[in-house]
Amino acid sequence: MELHSVSWREAAERLETDSERGLSRGEAQKRLLKFGKNEIRETKRKNLIIRFFSQFQDFMVLILLASAAVSFFVSRMRGDNEFIDSIIILAIVLCNAVIGMVQELRADKAIEALKKLSSPHARVLREGRKHTVESWELVPGDVVILKAGDLVPADIRLTKSVELQAEESALTGESVPAEKDANAVCSEDATLAERKNMLFASTGIASGAGVGIVTATGMDTSMGQIAKMLENEKAPMTPLQQKLKQTGKVLGIGVVVICAVIFTLGLIQKIEPLEMFMIAISLGVAAIPEGLTAVVTIVLAMGIKRMAQKRAIVRHMPAVETLGSTQVICSDKTGTLTQNKMTVTAFSGAYGEEKLDTPAAQFALELATLCNNSEDQEGKLFGDPTETAFLRACHTAKSTLEQSFPRAGEIAFTSARKMMTTAHRTADGYRIISKGAPDVLIARCSQMRKGSTIVPLSGSLKAKLMADNSALAERALRVLAVAYKDVSSLPGDDNETESNLIFCGLIGMEDPPRQGVKAAVAECKRAGILPVMITGDHAATALAIGKRIGIADDTSGVITGAELDRLSEGELSRRIFEYRIFARVSPEHKVKIVKAFQRRGMVVAMTGDGVNDAPALKSADIGCAMGKNGTEVAKSAADMVLTDDNFSTIVTAVREGRGIYKNIRKTIHFLLSCNIGEILVVFVAFLLRAPAPLLAIQLLWVNLVTDSLPALALGADPIERDVMEEPPHRKNEGIFSGGMGFSVAAEGCLVGALALLAYTIGRVWFDTDPMEPWIGRTMGFAVLSLSQLIHSFNMRSEHSVLKLGLFSNKKLLAACALCCALMVSVILVPALSAMFKTAALNGLQWLIVIGLSLFPLVAVEGEKLLLDHVPGRKRDKKDPRSR
């Protein structure tokens, strides 16, 4: 029920309540049954069993489970009871499932955080008497009494207000308390920030007092609407998740087809079905990179640790990689780009604008500090943000000034008078100080302070002062004037007290940009990322800040929430790149903007700190909340929390994300090229009707040990220096783009051919029985493992690894050394040799193995040397709009 557009009397009639007596207890009970409790409801959560089994939906996982089952039954049918293959495959699958379930258990707690914001009690009028009730008992029509410091328990239409101001920044984005007026009637399409006659659930009363009628409770409140949006919004799959899912499906289908073809060919050639089952399983095990999911998860976890050290806490693991693909950053203004702290930034006196540390400016600030109801308690400021700004800017402490000028009286600020006056004792009488709206205060001045002298304030000087005021206001500053006069005794009339004042100056305030934000915005642009501002603040204020930090310029488009409502989804999507500033927007608008960018194929990051940011934080590809001043609702809805509340940290996080994405591509490149080599060995041997060159347990060893450990080390590779000079990766860009698919296939064929060559040399030259190729199989196994370890160094860069330095990634050196030691142990240690069915090699055989294993480094270095001379290898940086 939209009651902000009618008078409070009509609102009371529509709600069928008495604004002076409230509801009867019986009516309150009826309405409680009808409307339900005044609380945010929680969403139903999946239990642990459902969560666990939902991890087995991936196509590759299903194929692995099928391989384990077939291997188990074939072993039982053969009667050899060798279940090691099945056990290892099941262990891998279970490990991945547990990791996935743990990640899901860290799911969003935004709804719970919204519940914590609710007021526990409320003071109401029922049957003409005041009662304190639990806030969940409130119903539409209840008359609620509020005072400074209270948390608003529901959405309320004011019926009475006395200098009432509400702190709504978390909901509307306004950086200063909103003035409220019960007698105001707003337009039907007024945004939340413009509804001066309304109070909203979970906001706070900053000053004054009021009485109002409850218009909405629970999920029908503005806060409840946000909770509904959080329920309905699903976090999109990250680009990496999409690409890995697609890759897994392609690999899985390919494996099934290859295994079916091999099995059919074997039956045509009249090979025993059980033997063909084992060959097909070996091929399946060879084709599927069992360690891929675990390796990617661990690489992301390492990235999370690095980012935490740089003040960015990642709550959802895949968000690390998403940062590297970010193309648009939609940033909230208040508290994100700005400090959410009103600050004095300008002073204009008799001689025009002056620095804040000049005598004239400090004199005016001392007067504003005395005419002030905020408090300084042990260095912490409490009170209205505008008044605390004066205390911070004044070089003299308020307590010191009050010792010299103790307060003797006050004429309080009212929205009608637009000014405040205090009287202070002096040695000769009293000093009267006034501050307020420039047009009101200048009209009450007859003189002006000019240096150390007082001069008459003529009409032309007043016009000049109003022009100075306009100049400050055009910079989106909030401007107050300060004046004073000294009298021997206090006048008996307020009007006389506030007349014939001496004008001192104009003080301009703003919520200033955070330090480093301008440089961060510039770096975003250099990196091909489009930054835009989304705020509940006024368009002029937002545009002024946007120009200062580089988000906007004179040609940038600005659009308000009311204008957004007049655009269809399709039209907004078409025109979305015309705008850099989105002002006076609601939570629904923020989600609409994010989705418009997403419909244009953009990967969108949203930063914010307020409750009003939460739905957009959740619907964005990556949501970044502020850690210090951000609400718990925003933090719970976000994928990442910036612990220093600094927009600049997002740029650091993007850099880390890009580096991590590159490292993940390196690991995928490495693992898949190794798997192609394994497939080639098994497949070619089958076509040649040779005995199996590699057993299933040997393939598992290669996939889980000699593949996975170097892959993990590649994930820790240092980030390349020029990573922020490249454009972000496109959302629809395949994981094998940029020639990676060809490289994977070519390098995989090379590794497979070398292993097959080693197997053939051992089988033909060294094995006594070619049908039982123990030496050949061992040599092929060793070359496959060791050549992959050598190949891991090729993965570190598109350019020669010699330029990076062979020893610049010590983790990779350690991983390769460990894998070499383990590989040698599998061949030389009798117990392990028996398990993996290997044979001891002599010196010549080891020389052949080492020679063949080193060849991939030589071959790929030659390939890089040739490609470095191919023009246009680097992608050109493009504007996101061109994508």
Report the catalytic residues.
Answer: 332
**Pairing relationship of beta strands 640-642 and 622-626 according to DSSP bridges:** parallel
774, 759 contact by CB (below 8 A): no
CA 300 – CA 244 distance, rounded (Å): 14
Which residues pair with residue 407 across a beta bridge?
Answer: 424
114, 43 contact by CB (below 8 A): no
Q: For residue 290, give both structure tokens.
A: 């069992």
Residue-by-residue DSSP string for 791-832: HHHHTT-SS-HHHH-TTS-HHHHHHHHHHHHHHHHHHHSHHH
For residues 458-472, one letter each, b for 16 or more C-beta atoms within 10 angstroms of the residue's C-beta and e for the rest, the string is eeebbeebeebbebb
Helices (H), 639-773: 647-687, 696-701, 708-715, 740-761
CA 68 – CA 56 distance, rounded (Å): 14
CA 396 – CA 404 distance, rounded (Å): 12
- What backbone torsions phi and psi does residue 600 show, to the nearest 5 degrees? -85, 10
CB atoms within 10 A of CB 849: 26
CB atoms within 10 A of CB 200: 22
Could you give the angle at which helices 843-867 and 740-761 cross, rounded to 10 degrees?
160
275, 693 contact by CB (below 8 A): no
CA 621 – CA 602 distance, rounded (Å): 9
Residue 322 in 3-state DSSP?
helix
Q: For residue 805, give both structure tokens.
A: 């330095």
At a CB cut-off of 8 Å and minimum separation 6, what does 853 contact?
754, 782, 783, 786, 787, 789, 790
CA 748 – CA 756 distance, rounded (Å): 12
Which residues pair with residue 436 across a beta bridge?
Answer: 419, 481
- What backbone torsions phi and psi does residue 583 show, to the nearest 5 degrees? -115, 160
CA 92 – CA 18 distance, rounded (Å): 68
